[in-house]
Structure formats: C-alpha cells, structure tokens
Amino acid sequence: MPFELRPEPHPTLRPEGEYLQRAWSQAVYPIARRMGVPIVLPPVSPQPHTHLAFEGFQYAREQGQGNDYNHRVLKAFFVEGRDIGDINVLTKLAGEIGLDEPEFEEALRSRKYQEAHRRALRHAYEEAGVSGVPMFVIGGQILTGLQARETLEAVIGEELANP
C-alpha cells in the first residue's frame, strides 16, 4: 500500500541534514549490514515527493507488473540513489521492466492515476490503519516499524498455529 511520509505540500528532508545522517548511521546502516541488504541514503536533495512513483505503480499494477515496478523503483532509489520524483527517471525504470515507456510517461504527465493513488492512500490511512513504515499485517496482528526476524517468525508461527 502507498504511504507518503511527507506528502505535498510538506517539505521533504535533505540527506545532508543532521536528522537523516544520524538516523541512517545509527539505525538503518547497522540493520542493513546485519541483514546483508545493500542500501544507501539516497543523495537526492531534497528527497523527492513520491506521489508520481505511486501513480506509476497504479499504471504498472494495471499492467500486471506492480510488484516488479515497486522492486525496481525501490532499488533505483535506495541502492542506486536515483531521483524517483522525476518523470523521466520513472519512465526509464518502467521501460526496464518491460512497460510501454511512452504510454507510462503520458499517464504520469496527464496525472491519469492521481485519483487511483488518492483512493489507495485513503484506504491505507483510514481503512487499513497504516500509520508508519514498514507495517506488517500478519493475520489479525499489526506490527509497525522495523521488526526483528525472530519477531516476525514468532507472529507468523502464532497465526499458522491458530487458523
């Protein structure tokens, strides 16, 4: 589900700022190293708003490639440091997973999926209760924030034991 940490018109953070530098050095990088996840604090400054990337997801989902699109966009931002707020970048990423680039670009420029994205946000915030990221819904349990593998395994085990 989409979740915008700082939706427009709120300003986004700058990666060179103290808050992101501290958060990444004290929390994100140590966890990523422990889990073997290659990740970097994206150097795009200020950090991009994500509504266009999410509108692109709506297009990709409609084409049956939502998961591939999400994976490519996340890798582009958190591993490659690319600007996922830029329509040209998003269009190239869509093309890399086999989506029609001209059609994708037109969908973003015309904001064809703006309302679909707004509906998805309303669903996430109001119906599903998304209040932070990451958020895991496992059976009837909701876990918000980064969770230890052992915690996730225990909750999954509980849910599997109580069908």
List average pLDDT for each run of 10 residues in the chain, which is 163 residues long: 88 95 93 91 96 98 98 97 98 98 98 97 90 88 87 95 85
Place of tokens 């997801």: 57
The torsion angles phi and psi of 100, rounded to 5 degrees, stand at -70, 110
* Domains parsed from the chain with CATH numbers: 18-130 (3.40.30.10), 131-163 (no CATH)
Cα gap 21→2, rounded to integer Å: 25
CA distance 86 to 160: 42
